[in-house]
Amino acid sequence: MFHKEGFKIILITFVSVIVSFLIVDNFVSILWLRYLLFFTLLTFLILILQFFRNPKRNGILNEDQVLSPVDGKVVVIEEVFEKEYFNDKRLQVSVFMSPINVHVTRYPIGGKVVFSKYHPGKFLVAWHPKASEENERTTVVVENNKQIKVLHRQIAGALAKRIVNYAKVGDDAVQASDSGFIKFGSRVDLFLPLGTKINVSLNDKVKGGESIIAEL
C-alpha cells in the first residue's frame, strides 16, 4: 500500500522510467552500459516506491500510552522549555527519519486537536540544534479525554522540502491514524508532561503507530 501523497510522484516516476528504458534500449548499443542504466533506473523506481509505502500498523490503542508518531531512531530525550504553546518545561523525545524510513506521521495520542500551526523556515539538517526553531515545521497539540495535552512537531530537514499536515483545530484525532506526511527525510519532536514515564532510550529504533514511546 502506498500513501496518497505519493500517487502523483509514483505515476510520474513510473512513466519516466518506462520512457527512459525505451530510450536506453534503442540508443545505447554498449551492452554493459545498457545494463547499468537499466539497473540504475530500476533502483530509482524501487526507492521511490519504498519511500511512499504506507504499511498497516497494529499498535494497541490506549489513552494512557504515547505511540511513536513516525518510524526512525530516537535521537533526543531531555527536559526542555517549550515556548511555542505550553510556555513551560516539558520532556522532549525526538525521532529522526532517514530517507528509507516510512514517512507517514501518525497521531501519538487520541483526543481533540486543540492547536495546529505551520511555520515556514529554513532547511537545516534535521539534527541541527536550531532545526526545531528555524526550519520549516508544523506544530500540533492533541488533548485526550483526561485533559492531558501532547504536542508533536514535524520538522523539515535538508532533503525534506514539503511538510503535509492534516490536523485542524477541532478535529477528532484517532491515535495512530495519519496526521501528516514529510517528504524525503526529517524528524518529529514530541513534547510530554513532566513526570511522564519514558519507555525508550537513545538510539532505539521505533515504528510509528506501534512503538510505545511513553506512559502518561
Residues annotated as catalytic (active site), given as ranges: 186
Strand partners, 155: 137, 187
